[in-house]
Structure formats: C-alpha cells, structure tokens
Amino acid sequence: MRPVLTTSTGMPVDNNQTSLTAGPDGPMLLMDTQYIDKISHFDRERIPERVVHAKGAGAHGYFEVTHDLSHVTRAKFLHGVGKRTPVFARFSTVGGELGSADTARDPRGFALKFYTEEGNYDMVGNNTPVFFIRDPNKFPDFIHTQKRNPQTHLKDADMFWDFLSLVPETLHQVTILFSNRGTPYGFRHMHGYSSHTFKFVDHNGKYSYFKWHFRTNQGVKNLTSEEAERIAGSNPDHATADLFNSIAKGDSPSWTAYVQILSEEQVAKYRFNSFDITKVWSQKVFPLQEVGKLVLNRNPENYFAEVEQAAFSPGTVVPGIEPSPDRMLQGRLFSYPDTHRHRLGPNFNQIPINVPRNAKLQNHQRDGPMAINGNGGNKPNYEPNSFGGPYQTDEVGVSYTAAPVVGAVGRHTYQLTDDDFVQPGDLYRLLSPYEKDHLIKNIVGSLKNAKKFIQERQVQHFKRADPEYGRRVEEGLKAATM
C-alpha cells in the first residue's frame, strides 16, 4: 500500500495537484488550508547559511582508541584501547557561499562531533596546521576580504592581497594556501588539525598542552590549479560527491589520529609563542603520538537535518580537555554558539544531530522557540531546589583547573617579528622543485590581479621569508604583466 500524504497537522490530502478555486476559471480561496500549509512552509525553507564554511558535506562514523591516554587526560572517550565513540564529521570550504565550487582555493574545514558519555566533544579544525591571523579581533575584517566587494559583488584581488600584505603574520598560511594543498582533491584525501593548542588535564589535576593531527589513510591528493578550475566548471560538487559515493559503496575513509603533547615547561621554553596559531610545533622536536582512528562509514539520511543543522563549537569540551590561552581560540569560544543561536535558534542543542545522545542531559534551561525535548517536564527549573531537580556536581575533576594569570588588563599586541617569516621560509625551502613551481605560479596567477603597490608590498614579505621565494614571485609578476 502507498503511504498516504498528509498536511503538517496530519489531515489526509485528497488532491495535491490542484488548488481550490471558485469555479474552473475563478480565483483561489483562502480556505485552501492544504495549499497554505504547503506554500507557507516552503516560503520559510531557507535558514541563514553559515557566515563562513557555508559549503560542506558530512558523514557519520566512529573514533576508536588505539593508544590509551588515561595517564594524560581524564576524558573518558580516550581511555582504553578499543574504546569506540560515535562521531559526526563535516568538511567544508571557507569563503564561498552554499552553492560555491568544492575545488576553490581555500582552507578546508575539518569538524568532528564526538558523542561521548560525558557530553559532546567538538574538534573544529581545518586541513592546515596554522591560521592566517592570531587575534580574533581581526577575523571579521579578514573574512570580508575573502568575500565579495561591497560594490561590484565580485571576488576582489585588491581586497584580498591588500589585507594579506598589510598583515604579514598571514604569510605562513598564505604559503600553504597557494601550494597545491590549497586545492585538495576531496575531503577524503587531506589531513585535519586542531591548529590550536588545548589543555589535557589528568586525574590529579596536572595539565599539559596538546594539538590534534588527523592523518588521512587515503593518502594526500591535491589538484593543480588548472584541474581545480576545470572541475569547478564541470562538477562544482566534486568533493561532496566523492565523500558520499565512496561511503555509499562501502569504501569508508579513515584517518589515524595523533596528538603532540607539550609540558608547561616546554611551552614556556619553545622558541615561538606556543599559543600563536600562525606557527607550528616542530614535529622533529615534539613527535606525533598515535591515539586512535577515525572511520566514516555512514552517509546522512537527510542533508538539511544532519549536515546543515550541525552546530560545532571549539568550546564544546568534556572534563579532561580545556581551552588554552590561544587568543584566537578564546575568540572562537564565544563566536560559535552565538552564531548558532542566530542561525538555528537558542534551542539548537535540541536538534537531533546536536543532542548529546550518550550523556544524560538535565539542566534548568526552559522555553524559547522550538523547545521540543519535553522542556524539563514537571521538574524544578531552578537551583537550589528541594524537589529532585538537577544540582551542580562536586565530582572531582569536572571544574576547570586553576591556572595562574598575571599582568595588567590591556590590549597587549602581539608584535610582528622576524619570527613570523621563519616558518614560511622553512616551508618554502622544504618544497620539491615541482611544488615550488606550482606555488609561484599559483601566487602569481592571483597576485597579478592586484594593484602594483600591493604586489610590491607583498613581494617584500616573500623575500623576507626567503630571498629566492620573493625573487621568483617578483619575476613571475613581471612576466605576467608584460
């Protein structure tokens, strides 16, 4: 038997093809409640797209511990070899709109939601170990330069390179972005990084600092800029299709998860500011330690319900994992739930994909639009209470560790120093001749569209990182504009 169509209130629909009119040629009637139910819902189908990372794809899977971490963190999902935690992942480009091409030159988002027994844990990283800027106050301006010109509504090389050349702390990420790593073949073939430093806290309250690295087991595979442009024209949803189709045919992508861990003393002594997200921690000095594997083996049933409504935040942590003082991270802690309240409403954590499904949820939050989880039933909505409502816990280890803070309140700027040019220069020198050729070609292909004075300013930064790097970009620009 075929299922019977109903209105949103459950009334069977007798005719879903023809509107109710006064006579065959007459106007439609306000009493056509079935049509009004249908069209008014349609009129409201769109919600605001993510202000960044709008275009993305997601999948379900699990995380399995292969190396126990109970000696460094009390986070239970990292305890015991073989322990599995369900995960939802979303990958994305950053600057483009919901309908933009998957192969655009851009970092890729790498966001994971672990449904642990202690509540959800989100790892909201990128496919790059560093970021463009190190103070969140710069973020809205930086993003504006990656979006459209306010007058022409076009992507604008002057805006883009003007900002980058005036904020040279961006150089490390720019060097990654304009290598072929800026155009990954798809989401399965790239690594993922927390980029930020976080804190692990052990059972005795002792803390260390760490960063996540997820290394693809499919192998890194990148596109050249010509390939990326061609695919953008022929199949703009290339990465989305690649992820979905591979999982649909049982070829589950996986990543091996590692952490780099530094003690407080190592953090204090490191040559660079350890919390500066424009820098990496040397893997030679601080080797990767294997922790587990991430496997994605189930496609979403419904894109909007699961992928579009997913709400990740780097502040969604569990006992045993805490934010570090990294300023960019601190800025993000507020921004994500704030944008979720705007994009999905104040009860965004009641949307099934965001519900902490393996932890018991009980609090005093009530009401608001779309309160759909029973709203606390008849339980007390206040604390302290004498009637069986939830209470704060005195379980040891749930509160943040006490960390010393010194200094006067002020807008303490991170100074631009020669240090900002060391790692981009090191990265340039590490590239093979083939990779260098592509990096230079990709930069020239974009920078040539900016004004001459911007080109010249940017070339000086490349030179400061490595004289050959700068000279080659300079020569490339000359040849391109002759």
Q: Which residues carry out catalysis?
A: 53, 126
Nearest to 210 by CA among 221, 199, 202: 199
Which residue's beta carbon is nearest to the bound ligand HEM? 109
| Residue 336 annotated as binding site | yes
Q: Which of 328, 440, 454, 473 binds ligand HEM (CB under 6 A)?
A: 328
Q: How far is the CB of 329 from ligand HEM (least distance, A)?
A: 8
Task: Check residue 312 for interaction with ligand HEM (CB under 6 A).
Answer: yes
Contacting range for ligand HEM; rule: CB under 6 A; set: 181-189, 288-296, 328-336, 413-421 = 328-336
Omega into 467 within 30° of 0, i.e. cis? no
438 binds ligand HEM (CB under 6 A): no
Q: Does 130 bind ligand HEM (CB under 6 A)?
A: no
Q: Which residue among 60, 113, 340, 464 contacts ligand HEM (CB under 6 A)? A: 340
Residue 339 in the binding site for ligand HEM (CB under 6 A)? yes
β-partners of residue 263 are none
Site for ligand HEM in 36-65 (CB under 6 A): 50-53, 56
Under rule CB under 6 A, which residues in 86-125 are in contact with ligand HEM?
90, 92, 109-111, 124-125
Q: Of residues 282, 335, 365, 381, which one binds ligand HEM by CB under 6 A?
A: 335
The count of chain residues that interact with ligand HEM, using the rule CB under 6 A, is 28
Q: Rounded to the nearest whole angstrom, what is the least distance from the CB of residue 357 to ligand HEM in the complex?
A: 18
CB of 311 to ligand HEM, least distance (A): 5
172 binds ligand HEM (CB under 6 A): no
**In the complex with ligand HEM, which residue's Cβ is closer, 48 or 205?**
48
Smallest distance, ligand HEM to C-beta of residue 473, A:
26
CB 187 within 8 A of CB 452: no
Identify which of residues 69 and 89 has a Cβ nearer to ligand HEM in the complex: 89
Cα atoms in the Cβ-side hemisphere of radius 13 Å centred on 169? 17
- Integer Cα distance of 281 and 209 in angstroms: 11
- Gap between the Cα atoms of 328 and 125, Å rounded: 12
* Contacting range for ligand HEM; rule: CB under 6 A; set: 12-20, 258-266, 337-345, 471-479: 337-345
What is the per-residue binding string for ligand HEM in 193-232, x denoting contact by CB under 6 A? --x-------------------------------------
CA distance 68 to 75: 11
Q: Which one, 144 or 452, has the nearer CB to ligand HEM?
A: 144
We find the least distance from the C-beta atom of residue 144 to ligand HEM, in angstroms, to be 12
* Closest distance of CB 345 from ligand HEM, Å: 12
| Shortest Cβ 387–ligand HEM spacing (Å) | 37
Which CA distances in Å does 125 have to 94, 167, 260?
A: 12, 22, 15
138 close to 167: Cβ distance less than 8 angstroms: yes
What is the x/- site pattern for ligand HEM, positions 139-158, by CB under 6 A? x-------------------
Q: CB nearer to ligand HEM: give 110 or 121.
A: 110
> Closer CB to ligand HEM, residue 171 or residue 311?
311
Please give the residue ranges that form the binding site for ligand HEM (CB under 6 A).
50-53, 56, 90, 92, 109-111, 124-126, 131, 136, 139, 195, 310-312, 328, 331-332, 335-336, 339-340, 343
Binding site membership for heme: which residues? 336
Binding site membership: which residues? 336
